[in-house]
Each structure stands twice: as structure tokens, then as C-alpha cells.
């Protein structure tokens, strides 16, 4: 139904540009496209009578606002079944003890259906309108995930995980099997016929793939112009192993296989070297910042400001189940925490040397509006889908959240626009997300 929302509307236009309309409007046509947004609805309606005709008016309360939907740039859908387990282990131990045995179970279609239905429901409940999912090595259950995203109306990139080496015997495939299943998966997703769900090429990480498999996956991505996702520079032990095997940097291993493109998002990037950051910039690759899992698995602190300053696009990822929550709002808060911790550590380290360098005391902590960009438009850009979603620019799909900060506890006074957003970011939860829209379709109504 063509609709105009009347009330507070907020979104971002860039990393440092936040735009809001108090007592504003946002108009959506019956195809789910944004046709108008701004401060003065009556002036817009007078200038656009054909568009305004027949719009159903929805009046927001003083405690409600519209914002773009959250984007999760990195989430392992099967690992939803083990959220909160094993987080006292480093990455490689955690994979072998918990993750590989769990993911091997997804050869069971009934089990896969149960978990994938639950993870899509949970992410939508938390306001994730676009997710980039890792599945498992299994073709059929990965198609189950794609079908579930289509059924529930979530926008998603879905990847069949590829791994033919350095994996346990009970959960590994040959290079030939991986390539064949990947091609079948790409075709299977296209046969679903949904513009919301697309395949993404998914080598698990460099260590789990031979050079030959990585090259074959790069060739498939190029042939079909596909998205690509994987991991990079998450853990110091992992990095040393990659260098030992590939005789180049982590980024170099992917680049030699043709896997660094302007449709590539790499999770983590905690320990990227300067030349690797420069290479990602040249290739147009993005980084999914996963502050929760980087902390939980003791991987390190990723300096988002360093990446952004270097011209690398950055979004946020829950990295379930290395991360302990499917909520991007929670990850947004963790990103702010990590930025503050980096500032503390940098200053403490400088003081410890006994040499005070004034310029080193000026680390720019991430601001909440910048973090909101990373969680919305930044994420869409990182996934090369910012032409479709991520903010409320005219012509984009209406992927949005209706937030009500009074659901749990009504504020004691009227809040400004900035205060409404700040209140939600710092104290809100999925209970405050009362409606979720994807491509103009209402997916969630009321707290569920």
C-alpha cells in the first residue's frame, strides 16, 4: 500500500553526514520505492499531486522515528545453534571444538530447516533487513537458508561455504565437489526468482582452501559477476599460518586468486598491514567490522578510523556465533566501546614511553552517528548494495525500522531528534523496533 509516514525521520548520507527531519515525512509508493522525503509534506504534495494521490497517512508519535534497516555484513547462520558457547577459547581452538562439529550436522535437512528458520526470524526481529550469511559446505541445506530468507521477506546474500583443506575429515570436501556445488547453488538461488536474495561466493578463509580452489572460486565470481565474502586477518596465529602456506600476505593470497573485487567484503581485518589496506582500497573491497567476536575470541581491536581514513568501506557484522548476539544494535555499541578502548590504549602507551607526542593524543573516537552509518548505509555500501538500500534516498527500496523509545519505559520528558536516536542506540533493544519493512513490505508489526 502506498504510504506516507508523518513524524521524525532520520538517516545518514555519509560517514560524517547525519540527516534528520523533525515533523517530517517519508512517502513510499505501492512498489515499495521511496518517492519523497523531507521536512514539509504539504509543499511536497502540492508539487507532486500524482504521487501524493492515494497515499495512506501514518502519523508517528513524539517518541517514534523512522530509520533505515540494519545491515549485518557478516553472520554465520548455522552457528545460531551455538550462540554463547565456547567464547573463552581463541579462534582456531573454538572452530575445532565447537564450530566444525556443529556445521557438519547440517547434512540433516530437518535440523537445517529448524535452525535457519530461527535465525532469519531472530535477525528480522532485531531489525536486520539485509544480512550476508555464511551457511555450510552442504548444497541442499544452504539452499534451505536461501529459501527461508525469501519466505520471510529478508534481503540477503547467502553463501555456500567452500573448504577443501585444513578441515576435519568429517567436514571437508574436494576442490571439485566444492566448485560443482557452488555452481549448482548459484543456479539454485537464481531459480528462486527473488530480487531480495542473491548468491555470494564464500571461501571459508584462506587456510581452508587450496590455491586451486581459491582461483576457481575467483573465476566463478568473475564469470557471473557475483558478490564475494570471506575472512581476513582476524587472529595473529591464523595470519602466520596463511603467510607460511601462501608465501604472501593474507590479502595477497586472495588477490592472486582474483577474489578481491569491488563486490568483496572481508570480515574482521583486525591486523591488516598498511600495504594490505592499500590493496583493499585499490580493489574496492570492504571490511565487515566485528567488534563483538573480535573481543569474545580475543582476536584484537580493529581500528575502524584507520580503515575509513584510508578509503576502505566499512560495515558491521554480528559474526554469530563468535559474537554472542544477532543484534546489529548491540554490535553498534561494541564498536563504540572498541573505539574508546583504542583511544585509551594509545594514550596509555604513549605516556608509558615518557615521550608525549601531541598529535598522538588526538585519536578520533567513533561517534554514535558514525556508528549508525556503519550499521546502515555503510553496511549496504560494504555489500555493494547501497544503490538499492541503506538510507532514504529517492528511488531506493524502503527498508526501514519504526522505532518507539517509549515501549519499555516512557521518557520523562520530550526528547529532541538527536536524543531519540541516542536513547535508542544506548538503551534500546529489539522491543523498541515495533515495525520492520523490506522493499516496502511490513515484515514485523509489534514486539514479537
pLDDT in tens, 29-48: 999 999 999 999 999 999 99
Q: What is the mean pLDDT of the chain?
A: 95
**pLDDT confidence bin for 358, thresholds 50/70/90:** very low
Whether the CB-CB separation of 315 and 378 falls below 8 Å is answered with yes
Question: Any idea how long the chain is?
Answer: 448
Q: What is the separation, in whole angstroms, between the first and last Cα of the chain?
A: 23
Q: What are phi and psi of 160, to 5 degrees?
A: -80, 120
Report CA-CA distances (Å) from 387 to 51, 95, 262, 362: 22, 35, 14, 34
- pLDDT-above-70 percentage for the chain: 97
pLDDT at 355: 46
Q: What digits encode the pLDDT tens for the residues 116-130? A: 999 999 999 999 999
pLDDT at 357: 53
Q: Evaluate if pTM is beyond 0.75.
A: yes
Q: Domains plus CATH for the chain?
A: 3-68+392-444 (2.30.40.10), 70-383 (3.20.20.140)
List all residues 6 or more positions away from 149 whose beta carbon is below 8 Å from its beta carbon: 120, 131, 133, 155, 156, 158, 196, 197
Q: What digits encode the pLDDT tens for the residues 282-326? A: 999 999 999 999 999 999 999 999 999 999 999 999 999 999 999
Q: What is the DSSP string of 189-206?
A: HHHH--TTEEEEEEE--G
- Answer yes or no: is pLDDT of 141 > 80: yes
Q: What digits encode the pLDDT tens for the residues 387-406? A: 999 999 999 999 999 999 99
User: Cell 522515528, residue?
Assistant: 65
Average pLDDT over residues 154-172: 97
C-alpha cell of 43?
509543499
Angle at 121 between CA 270 and CA 327, to 5 degrees: 35
Whether the CB-CB separation of 315 and 289 falls below 8 Å is answered with yes
Average pLDDT over residues 160-164: 98
pLDDT at 345: 86
pLDDT at 48: 96
pLDDT at 349: 75
d(CA 294, CA 4): 41
Q: Is 211 helix (H, G, I), strand (E, B) or coil?
A: helix
Nearest to 160 by CA among 190, 184, 192: 184
**pLDDT confidence bin for 444, thresholds 50/70/90:** confident
- Answer yes or no: is pLDDT of 170 > 60: yes
User: Cell 531459480, residue?
Assistant: 191
pLDDT at 91: 82
pLDDT at 353: 52
**pLDDT confidence bin for 348, thresholds 50/70/90:** confident
**pLDDT confidence bin for 262, thresholds 50/70/90:** very high
**Helix (H) or strand (E) run with residue 441 in it:** strand 441-445
Average pLDDT over residues 195-210: 97
C-alpha cell of 312?
576502505
- Answer yes or no: is pLDDT of 360 > 70: no
Name the residue with higher pLDDT: 349 or 318: 318
- Answer yes or no: is pLDDT of 448 > 80: no
Nearest to 247 by CA among 213, 206, 202, 300: 206
Whether the CB-CB separation of 185 and 141 falls below 8 Å is answered with no
Amino acid at each position: 500500500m502506498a504510504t506516507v509516514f508523518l513524524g521524525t525521520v532520520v538517516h545518514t548520507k555519509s560517514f560524517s553526514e547525519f540527516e534528520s527531519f523533525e515533523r517530517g515525512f517519508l512517502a513510499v509508493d505501492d512498489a515499495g520505492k521511496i518517492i519523497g522525503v523531507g521536512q514539509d509534506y504539504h509543499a511536497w504534495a502540492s508539487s507532486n499531486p500524482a504521487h501524493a494521490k492515494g497515499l495512506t497517512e501514518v502519523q508517528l508519535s513524539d517518541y517514534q522515528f523512522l530509520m533505515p534497516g540494519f545491515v549485518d555484513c557478516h553472520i554465520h547462520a548455522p552457528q545460531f545453534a551455538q550462540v554463547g558457547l565456547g567464547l573463552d577459547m581463541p579462534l582456531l581452538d573454538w572452530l575445532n571444538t565447537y564450530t566444525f562439529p556443529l556445521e557438519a550436522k547440517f547434512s540433516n535437512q530437518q535440523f537445517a530447516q529448524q535452525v535457519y528458520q530461527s535465525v532469519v526470524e531472530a535477525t528480522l526481529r532485531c531489525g536486520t533487513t539485509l544480512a550476508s550469511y555464511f551457511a555450510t559446505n552442504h548444497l541442499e541445506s544452504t539452499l534451505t537458508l536461501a529459501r527461508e530468507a525469501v519466505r520471510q521477506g529478508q534481503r540477503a546474500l547467502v553463501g555456500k561455504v567452500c573448504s577443501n583443506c585444513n578441515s576435519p575429515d568429517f567436514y571437508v570436501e574436494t576442490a571439485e565437489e566444492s566448485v560443482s556445488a557452488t555452481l549448482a547453488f548459484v543456479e539454485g538461488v537464481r531459480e528462486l526468482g527473488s530480487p531480495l536474495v542473491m548468491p555470494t561466493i564464500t571461501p571459508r578463509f584462506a587456510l581452508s582452501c587450496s590455491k586451486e580452489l581459491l582461483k576457481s572460486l575467483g573465476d566463478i565470481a568473475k564469470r557471473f559477476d557475483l558478490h564475494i565474502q570471506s575472512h581476513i586477518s582476524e587472529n595473529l596465529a591464523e595470519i602466520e599460518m596463511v603467510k607460511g602456506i601462501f608465501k604472501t600476505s593474507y590479502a595477497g593470497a586472495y588477490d592472486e586468486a582474483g577474489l578481491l573485487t569491488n563486490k568483496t567484503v572481508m570480515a574482521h581485518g583486525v591486523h591488516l598491514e598498511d600495504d594490505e589496506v592499500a590493496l583493499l582500497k585499490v580493489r574496492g573491497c570492504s571490511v565487515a567490522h566485528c567488534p563483538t567476536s573480535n573481543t569474545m575470541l580475543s582476536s584484537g581491536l580493529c581500528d575502524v578510523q584507520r580503515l575509513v581514513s584510508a578509503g576502505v568501506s566499512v560495515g558491521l557484522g554480528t559474526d554469530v556465533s563468535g559474537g554472542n548476539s544477532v543484534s546489529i544494535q548491540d554490535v553498534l555499541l561494541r564498536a563504540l566501546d572498541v573505539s574508546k578502548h583504542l583511544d585509551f590504549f594509545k594514550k596509555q602507551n604513549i605516556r608509558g614511553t615518557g615521550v608525549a607526542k601531541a598529535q598522538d593524543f588526538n585519536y578520533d573516537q567513533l561517534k554514535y552517528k558514525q556508528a549508525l552509518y556503519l550499521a546502515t548505509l555503510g553496511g549496504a555500501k560494504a555489500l555493494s548494495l547501497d544503490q538499492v538500500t541503506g538510507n532514504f534516498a529517492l528511488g531506493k527500496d524502503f527498508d526501514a525500522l519504526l522505532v518507539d523509545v517509549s515501549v519499555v519505559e516512557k521518557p520523562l520528558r520530550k526528547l529532541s531528534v538527536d536524543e531519540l536516536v541516542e536513547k535508542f542506540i544506548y538503551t534500546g533493544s529489539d522491543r523498541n523496533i515495533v515495525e520492520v519493512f523490506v522493499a516496502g513490505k511490513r515484515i514485523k508489526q509489534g514486539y514479537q
